[in-house]
């Protein structure tokens, strides 16, 4: 079964600083990979996804993620944090085969300081 | 109107009561899912359905049941609620395996 590890339950950055949220997965074959964002009192919203096309994926709100097969990673980045980026971020992974039901990481809370 | 609507948004119920959480969608997606979110645990799958006649258990289905009344409606029931079922519950939909999910706004359930 897939497992997903998000390093750091909380990440704190200053406004304007680089955002880096880490996600590692366990899979013997390239999976489908997703990042979701959850703002307070809301449901999750898809930020971006990797489905075997370009390894660098661009998403909404200036976020991007790079699939690195050798490192089994799919880290989320944004060059310059905004206050509005403060939210919970979830990485999800599904196998290409079987039911394709994604496994979610435990989430990383992004805190942005003025 | 939202693409995926969950009702109620908040609910407080007593131990032992039966409760139903409802989900309806206007996306036209065949696949629907129920997840539970607990702080620090991420999202855990309760049940999922790939079409009206298909119902499957997820990793934490004990104590829950579901009904897929139509393509657009997928309900989650707690037959006899217990305090450790206090959580945030999300319904989600998708058209395929790699498209990604559309989530509802969630139902915050408290069992006292």
Tokens of A113: 């300081």
Pairing relation of β-strands A87-94 and A32-38? Answer: antiparallel
By CA distance, what is A31's nearest residue in B? B98
Cα dihedral: B75, B76, B77, B81 (round 10): -150
Q: Which residues of B touch A36 (CB under 8 A)?
A: 101, 103
- Report chain A residues touching chain B, CB-CB < 8 A: 9, 32, 34, 36, 41-46, 49, 51, 90, 94, 99-102, 104-107
Task: Give the Cα separation of A81 and A94 in Å (integer).
Answer: 28
Task: Give the Cα separation of B75 and B77 in Å (integer).
Answer: 7
Dihedral pair phi/psi, residue A50, rounded to 5° = -115, 125
pLDDT given for residue A96 in this prediction: 64
Task: Give the Cα separation of A40 and A29 in Å (integer).
Answer: 34
**CB-CB: which of B33, B45, B100 is closest to A34?**
B100
Q: Min CA distance, B4 vs chain A (Å)?
A: 10
Residue, of A96 and B59, whose pLDDT is higher: B59
Q: pLDDT, tens digit, for every residue of B77-101? A: 999 999 999 999 999 999 876 788 9
Task: Give the Cα separation of A1 and A28 in Å (integer).
Answer: 10
% of residues, chain B, pLDDT over 70: 98
B100 vs A: CB within 8 A: yes
Chain-centroid distance of CA A45 in Å reads 12
**CB-CB: which of B33, B58, B97 is closest to A94?**
B97
Whether residue A14 has pLDDT greater than 90: yes
Whether residue B12 has pLDDT greater than 90: yes
DSSP letters spanning chain B = --SEEEE-SEEEE-TT--EEEEEEESS--SEEEEEEEETTTEEEEEEEEEETTEEEE-TT-TTEEEEEEETTEEEEEESS--GGG-EEEEEEEESSSSS--EE---EEEEE-
Task: Give the Cα separation of A74 and A108 in Å (integer).
Answer: 14
The reply to whether residue B42 touches residue A44, judged by beta carbons under 8 angstroms, is no
pLDDT given for residue A1 in this prediction: 65
Residue, of B35 and A51, whose pLDDT is higher: B35
DSSP letters spanning chain A = --EEE-S-SEEEEETTS-EEE--EEE-SS--EEEEEEE-TTS-EEEEEEESSS-SEEE-GGG-EEEEEGGGTEEEEEESS--GGG-EEEEEEEE-SSTT-PPEE---EEEEEE-
pLDDT given for residue B110 in this prediction: 97
Q: pLDDT, tens digit, for every residue of A25-81? A: 987 676 789 999 999 888 999 999 988 778 899 999 999 999 998 899 999 999 999
% of residues, chain A, pLDDT over 90: 72
The reply to whether residue B105 touches residue A42, judged by beta carbons under 8 angstroms, is yes
Q: Which residues of A touch B55 (CB under 8 A)?
A: none
Task: Give the Cα separation of B45 and B56 in Å (integer).
Answer: 10
Q: Which residues of B touch A95 (CB under 8 A)?
A: none
% of residues, chain A, pLDDT over 70: 93
């Amino acid at each position: 079964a897939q497992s997903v590890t998000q390093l750091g339950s909380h990440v704190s950055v200053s406004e304007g600083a680089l955002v880096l949220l880490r996600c590692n997965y366990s899979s013997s074959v390239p999976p489908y990979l997703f990042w979701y964002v959850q703002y307070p009192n809301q449901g999750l919203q898809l930020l971006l996804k990797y489905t075997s096309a370009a390894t660098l994926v661009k998403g909404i709100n200036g976020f991007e993620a790079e699939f690195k097969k050798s490192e089994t990673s799919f880290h989320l980045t944004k060059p310059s944090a905004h206050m509005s980026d403060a939210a919970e971020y979830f990485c999800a992974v599904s196998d290409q085969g079987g039911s394709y039901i994604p496994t979610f990481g435990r989430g990383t809370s992004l805190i942005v300081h003025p | 109107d939202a693409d995926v609507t969950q009702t109620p948004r908040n609910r407080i119920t007593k131990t032992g009561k039966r409760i139903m959480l409802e989900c309806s969608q206007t996306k036209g997606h065949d696949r629907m899912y129920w997840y539970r979110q607990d702080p620090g645990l991420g999202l855990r799958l309760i049940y999922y359905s790939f079409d009206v006649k298909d119902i499957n258990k997820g990793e934490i289905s004990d104590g829950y049941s579901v009904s897929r009344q139509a393509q657009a409606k997928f309900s989650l029931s707690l037959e006899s609620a217990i305090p450790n079922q206090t959580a945030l519950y999300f319904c989600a939909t998708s058209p395929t395996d790699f498209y990604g999910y559309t989530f509802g706004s969630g139902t915050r359930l408290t069992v006292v």
